[in-house]
Chains A and B, each alone.
Chain A
Amino acid sequence: MTDSASKTTTVPASAAGPLVVARGLKKRFGSREILHGIDFTIPAGRVYGLVGHNGAGKTTTLNAILGLTPCQGSIKVLGVDPFAQRARLMRDVAFISDVASLPRFLVVRDLFRLVAGIHPNFSTARAESLLEGTEVRLGAKIGNLSKGMLAQLHLAVVMAIEAKLLVLDEPTLGLDITFRKRFYRRLIEDYMTPDRTLLITTHQVDEIEFMLTDIMFMRDGSLILDAPMADVGRRYLQLVASPDHFQAARALAPVFEETRFGQTVMVFDGLDREKLEPLGTVSTPTLSDLFVALMQREPTAGVAA
């Protein structure tokens, strides 16, 4: 079992183009349509956040990207149809859909041997080095590890794979704040390179905001926002309106309004900061505030980008 000698990349090189291209992506379970013909493009070297309520279609979208489920419409990942060529694609794509999915009957050492034997781009030495400093021992049975240890182990496995795209679906679900922070810090410090792309979904959106380059919001099977973080910061503004300027602020058509601790907070889309500043305190909304705002906005045609 070689670690470095047999590193292979068999998916056609499409480094110059986007990693993922989806057009009119639809998915139906029985009579219920889960994805309503979504379009998106994910270039290389980005960190994408995919955020949405439970049942919004995030996991179905990820499953379509990973070739885990057939869909209508068109989707190409690294230039190939992921459902038709999942096994081939997985040489260059790594994912964690559930940290509890590691085979529990194995010990850690056997897991590494096994993955090294069936994955040409996996490095046992790197996986072992990634476990240094953690409480996970090579001789430990996976079934006996705590949830935090499982997350660390699973992260070590995917980070030891020379992948172009890493997809993480709620990777820190059920972990405490210490593990979550360590998890994301390790991901950014030890894994991300300019030619790698990371796609991540989580409900703890504030915890990943610092690492994102792009954000996608999903609602009811549709993308309601797909934009670089820099654009989001420029485009959306939050106003804590002064009591005597409520009506003037409302006249500027906020996309969201709520009262927090006695203050009226409004979120505006595409408005000049200069117009808002006389009306109260203006700031950039956090991702979680923006998410709440856009989730409650009346649906409009097309994707905000």
Chain B
Amino acid sequence: MSAFLILLRREFIEHRGAFFYAPLILIVILTLLIVSAFVSGHTQFSFYGAGIGGYRLFDAAFLGLGFLWWAYLFLVLFFYFADAFNSDWRNNSMLFWKSMPQSDFRILLSKLVAGLTILPAMIFLAFLLTGIVAAAASLVAPLVLPMLGAPDVPGTVTAWLNISAVAVCYLVLALLWYAPFFAWVGALSTAFGRWSVPLALVIPVLFSLFENSIDFQNAPGGGYLLAFLRQRLSFNFDSRDLQEAAFSNAPIDVGALIGKLVAGVNWPSLLGGLIFAGVVIYIASEYRRRVLKSFA
């Protein structure tokens, strides 16, 4: 295994609490809740309009869980970047890592790459497992809720595959889109530790205030900087497309949804963001290379 993969593995081991054990616990809790609902008979379901198949219920449930997992991932990733880039100092292990033949840039790059690959992959796996739980529930549900019609195993499996395909595409593109923000938090964390959490927001706001103070008349609402950040913070995908797909009677059109996802990405902006991420990580690594905090 290459040294870089070993460094990724190290990040996983260090942060497996948030990215492995916690999702696992959440899945167990969810499963227990569903099982207890069926066992105790505390199930209630109502809908409007024409009849709905079990797998349509699964579509809605799986997509809803997907949004919850995305929110969880975004939150823990933010705190991962605010924590991991400083953890070697905080854990007093900086000198140990510096005794290894790995550059500071390589170490920080491994943290960035881990935060954008294996750690989200863990949450994605949790999402897939949740989907299996939801699929099982939607197959059992018609037995206690006859209005759902007969269980539809092929339809549910197809729906699981379709939604998973759309979700992985969304995840990859969204992570690449938001990579510069995570890198920004990580770079700040290298120098300021957990203060990076407020500083990640305060610094752009201060720059924006400065911009407004010198160019208030001509700037768009809030100033050029805030306008740019607003545009850059919104991943260009209309979630109503997913909602419509989930609640329509037709099966989800994976190709169309992925096509919309890809077409909606501003690729030059995404590429610029990745370059920005690389630059801030390099600057952070130079800081880490030069500053031994315990002696500063």
Contact = CB atoms under 8 A, between A and B. Distances in A.
Interface of A: 1, 29, 59-60, 63, 66, 68-70, 86-91, 94-98, 100-106, 110, 113-115, 117-120, 158
25 contacts: A1-B1, A59-B295, A60-B295, A63-B295, A68-B95, A69-B290, A86-B98, A86-B289, A87-B103, A90-B102, A91-B101, A98-B92, A100-B92, A101-B92, A101-B94, A102-B96, A103-B10, A103-B14, A103-B96, A114-B9, A117-B1, A117-B5, A117-B6, A118-B100, A119-B100
Contact of B99 (A90, A105, A113): A90
Contacts of A113: 6
B106 interface: yes
A69 B295 CA distance: 10
A152 to B, nearest CB: 15
Interface string B254-296: 0000000000000000000000000000000000011010011
Question: Most chain-A CB neighbours within 10 Å: which of B13, B94, B100?
Answer: B100
Given A59-B295, A114-B10, A117-B3, A87 B91 contact: no
B106 A87 contact: yes
B13 A110 contact: yes
Given A69-B295, A117-B6, 19 more contacts: A29-B296, A63-B292, A68-B98, A87-B106, A90-B98, A94-B99, A97-B99, A98-B95, A101-B96, A103-B96, A104-B91, A105-B13, A106-B13, A110-B13, A114-B10, A115-B100, A118-B101, A119-B100, A119-B101
B6 A114 contact: yes
A104 B93 contact: yes
Contacts of A89: 101
A63 B295 CA distance: 10
Contacts of B6: 113-114, 117-118
B128 interface: no
Nearest to A142: B93
A120 B102 CA distance: 11
Interface string B12-25: 01100000000000
B57 interface: no
Contacts of B93: 101-104
B290 A95 contact: no
A215 to B, nearest CB: 24
* Chain B binding surface SS class: helix
B14, B94, B99 pick with most chain A CB within 10 angstroms: B99
Contacts of A114: 6, 9-10
Nearest to B10: A114
B91 A105 contact: yes
A68 B288 CA distance: 10
Contacts of B102: 87, 90, 118
A103 B95 contact: no
A115 B96 CA distance: 10
Nearest to B294: A98
A89 B103 CA distance: 11
B7 interface: yes
A91 B3 CA distance: 13
Contacts of B290: 69-70
Interface string B66-95: 000000000000000000000000011111
Contacts of A87: 101-103, 106
Nearest to B290: A70
A90 B295 contact: no
Contacts of A100: 92
Please list the 4 inter-chain residue pairs (A to B) with the smallest Cβ-Cβ separation, ordered nearest first: A117-B6, A90-B101, A87-B103, A97-B95
A94 B5 CA distance: 22
A103 B94 CA distance: 9
A91 B103 CA distance: 12
A120 B296 CA distance: 31
A95 B94 CA distance: 13
Nearest to A85: B103
A214 to B, nearest CB: 23
Contact of B3 (A66, A95, A98, A118): A118
Contacts of B99: 66, 90, 94-97, 158
Contacts of A98: 92, 95
Nearest to A59: B295
Nearest to A89: B101
Residue of B95, B106, B290 with most partner-chain A CB within 10 A:
B95
Contact of B101 (A68, A103, A110, A120): A120
A236 B100 CA distance: 40
Given A1-B1, A103-B91, A69 B292 contact: yes
A105 to B, nearest CB: 5
A94 B91 CA distance: 20
A222 B97 CA distance: 29
Contacts of A106: 13
A86 B285 CA distance: 13
A87 B99 CA distance: 8
Contact of A86 (B3, B13, B103): B103
Contacts of A105: 13-14, 91
Contacts of B103: 86-87
